[in-house]
Amino acid sequence: MNQITQIAGKLNIKEEQVKAVLNLLEEEATIPFIARYRKEKTGGLDEDQLREIESTNMYLTILADRKETILKSIEEQGKLTEELKTKILSVDKLQELEDLYLPYKPKRKTRATVAKSKGLEPLANFIINSPNFDGSFDEILAKYIDKEKGVLSKEDALQGAKDIIAESISENAEVRKEVREYLLNNSKVVSIKTKETKTEKKSKKKDVYEIYHQFEVEIIKIKPYQTLALNRGERDGFLKVNLKFEREDVLSRIFKKFFKYKTSVFIDLLNEIVQDSFTRLIYPSIEREVRKELTEIADEHAVEIFSSNLRQLLLQPPISGKIIMGIDPGFVSGSKIAIIDETGKYLEGQTIYPHPPQRRMSEAKSVIVDFIQKYNVELIAIGNGTASRETELMVSELIKENNLNCFYLIVNEAGASVYSASPIAKQEFPDLEASQRGNISIARRVLDPLAELVKIDPKSIGVGLYQHDVDQKLLQKNLDDVIISCVNYVGVDLNTASSSLLTYVSGLNKRIANSIVKYREKNGKFISREDLKNVSGIGEKSFEQAAGFLKIPNGENPLDNTFIHPESYGATEKLLKLCNLSTTAVNEKGNLVELYVKNNGLKNIVEDIKIGEPTLIDIIENLKKPGRDPREEMPKPILRSDVLKIEDLEEGMKLKGTVRNVVDFGAFVDIGVKQDGLLHISEMANKYVKHPLEIVAVGDVIDVVIKSIDIEKGRIALSMKNF
C-alpha cells in the first residue's frame, strides 16, 4: 500500500485529493494559499485537513525511512527472514516497528549477552522447547560446566540460561504489545506525597499538589490536565507517581504470549523467569512508554486548547477610528501612560504616581484629564496587572467628576513586558525606555489585537494551561500555525502592516517583510499589488503565494482590496462585463453580480468565464464585501465607565462578562471586578458538556449569574444555567 493510499484511508479523504495536496506542498505552496486559492484541486479541503495530510505524510515518511534502516541492519546480521521482513513492512506504528527490531538492535553488555558468550544459549533453548522432558536435568546442566568460559557450576549454567530466556521474553514484540495495551487499558495512575526533602525545605515552594497526595484514577479516565499536574508535581519533588495493576494477570498474559504451551516440566522455573523478565526488563521500559504516551496525549490536548484560545484572542475585533490612551498600572514605579492615534502612532506619554507609596492621586487625575482633553481621547485601555483595579477605580472617578464622554476597558497585558524589552520594540521606539513601551502595546492591543500580538511570543500571552510543561516543539509549531492562519484569514493592509505582521503572510519571510517596509519607506505607499514585484526578494512564487492576502485600500484597482487573487482578475473582469459593470463599481454593485449569477445559473457562468465553481463563489463573496474584515463578526469587548468591587456582588446577581481563558474544567470570566470569576464546566448549560470550548471561547461576551462569593479568598463562582 503506497503512502497516498494510506493517508487517504486514515483520514477518509479521496486519493486524488491527497495527491493534489502533496504535489502543491512539494511545489512550496503554503497551507493558507492552498486552502483559499486551490479549492478546485483539493476538493475544498480546509486548513485543518491540509495540516493533517501534511503531518500524516511526514509521519509515514519517517516510518518508511526507519523501516529501510532496520531491514538493512538485520540483513547485514544475516538474520532477515521473509516472515520477519513481511512483519516489518506491514506495521504502521513506529513503536511496533521498534519492538520488532529490539532483538536485533546492537546492545551494550547485558547478563544475557554474557551468558551467550559462555555458550549457554542452547541450554536456554532446551528449557523453552522441552516442556515434556522426562530425563535428568542435572545431567543436562552438567554438560555446560566450562571453567575456561566462566561456567563454574550447574547453578552458574542455570542462571545464565534464565538470563537469556528473560531477555528473550522482554524483547518479544507480541509480549511487549500485550503488556503495553494491558497497562494502557487496565491500570490505574496513583500518586502519593513524597517525604519532605532538604531540597524542598530550601526551595520553600508552596505545595500546590495537595489534591494529588493520595490520588488514584483509572488510566482510561485520567484527564490531560491531571497528567500534566502529576508530571510537574513529580518533577518538583512533591509527588511519586506509579501505575497500579493486577500483577498476576500481567504475568499470566506474558506466559501465554511467549510460551506456546499451557504447562511444562519446568513450569516453576519458567514462572520465576517470567517474573524476573517483567520486573527487571519489561516493566521499567513499558511503564516509561505508557507514561510517555499519556504525556503525549496530554501535550496534544493542552496545545489544542492553547491554540484554540490563541486563535480567538488574535481574532478579537479591532476598535478602530479612536484615539486611545494606554495605562500600564503600577505602585512603586508608577503607572505609565501612552496616547496613540487612530493609526497606532505614538503621540505622547508620561508616568503618574496615584497609588502607594507616593499617593499623588490629584496630580495623576489632572494629567489624565489634560491628555484626554488635549487629544480627544475616547477610550482608555488599562492593563490587568498590578494596581489594575486601583487604576480602574481612579479612571472611573475622574470620568464621573469631569463628566467626560470617555470609556475604559481592561486589557490582558500578558506579554507586554516581553514586548517592551524585545528587539522589535527597540526598533519601533528607540528613544523610549522599555518601561514606556509596554503601555503603547496595551493601547495598540485594543486598536488592532492581531497586529500587536504577533510581535510577542505566544507562550507569553497567557491563554494556556501548563504551556511551559508540554512538548515545546509541538507547542511552537502549532502556535505558529495558528498565527499564520489568523493573519492570512484576516488579510494585511500592505501600506500599514509592520514587518512582524508581514512575516506571517503566506509566501513571505522575515527578510522579505523587512524589504517591503524599506521599499514603502523609500517609495511611499503601494498603489497596486503589481508593485510588489519591484520589492527585493519577491519572485513569481512568493508573489503568487502572498498577493491575495495583501490588501491595498484606495489603490488603483478596487480588486486589490479584496481576497480575489490577481490570477483571477481576468475572470472577475469577464464576470463584471457580463453584468454590464466595471471594476470601479465593485464597492457598490456586488449584490447585482450575485443576482445575475443566480438568474443565469452558476454552471453557465463557470463555463462562460472559464473558472472553477469554488473560485467563482469566492469572487462573488468578495465583490459583495470588498475590504471586509472577518473580525467584525466577533463580539465587541465590553466598554465601561463605572467600576464594580467584589463587595458589590451578591449571589443571584446577573452580569455580562468577557471570557479571558478557557481550560479543561471551565472558563475564567472578567465580570469587572479585581478577580476573574470561574465558570465551571458543570455550570455552562442545562445539559452535559464534554468540553468548555463547546460553549464558550476566549473573547466571548456572555451573560452570567453569581453563584457564590468568597471575599476572603477572592473567589467568585459563576453560572450560565437558566439563561
The partner residues of 280 in beta bridges, in order of sequence, read none
C-alpha–C-alpha distance, residues 640 and 642, integer Å: 6
Parallel, antiparallel, or unpaired for β 324-328 and 379-383? parallel
User: Given strand 324-328, what is the order of strands in its sheet?
Assistant: 346-352, 335-340, 324-328, 379-383, 407-411
Query: pLDDT-based confidence at 412, cuts 50/70/90?
Result: confident
Counting Cβ atoms within 10 Å, is residue 287 exposed (0-12), middle (13-18) or buried (19+)?
Answer: middle
All structural domains of the chain, each given as residue ranges with its CATH number in brackets, are: 3-104 (1.10.10.650), 324-447 (3.30.420.140), 490-632 (1.10.150.310), 646-719 (2.40.50.140)
Most confident of 487-491, 591-595, 629-633, 663-667: 487-491
User: Above 70 in pLDDT, residue 202?
Assistant: no
Helix (H, G, I), strand (E, B) or coil at 669: strand
Read off the DSSP letter of residue 195: P
Secondary structure E strands in 180-220: 188-193, 214-218
C-alpha–C-alpha distance, residues 665 and 222, integer Å: 13
Instruction: Say if residues 600 and 567 touch (Cβ distance below 8 Å).
Output: no
Mean pLDDT of 327-351: 96
Q: Which pLDDT score is estimated for 722? A: 77
Instruction: Say if residues 445 and 320 touch (Cβ distance below 8 Å).
Output: no
Instruction: Say if residues 713 and 685 touch (Cβ distance below 8 Å).
Output: no
C-alpha–C-alpha distance, residues 645 and 654, integer Å: 15
Q: Which pLDDT score is estimated for 389? A: 85
Convert the pLDDT of each residue in 635-651 to its tens digit: 788 888 877 778 889 99
C-alpha–C-alpha distance, residues 655 and 7, integer Å: 49
Counting Cβ atoms within 10 Å, is residue 225 exposed (0-12), middle (13-18) or buried (19+)?
Answer: middle
C-alpha–C-alpha distance, residues 463 and 306, integer Å: 6
Assessment of whether the complete model's pTM goes beyond 0.85: yes
Task: Please state, rounded to an integer, the average pLDDT across all residues of the chain.
Answer: 93
The partner residues of 564 in beta bridges, in order of sequence, read none
Q: Which pLDDT score is estimated for 455? A: 94
Q: Return the HEC string of 323-350.
A: CEEEEECCCCCCEEEEEECCCCCEEEEE
Helix (H, G, I), strand (E, B) or coil at 363: helix
Identify which of 488, 423, 424 has the alpha carbon closest to the alpha carbon of residue 452: 424
Query: pLDDT-based confidence at 583, cuts 50/70/90?
Result: confident
Query: pLDDT-based confidence at 35, cuts 50/70/90?
Result: very high
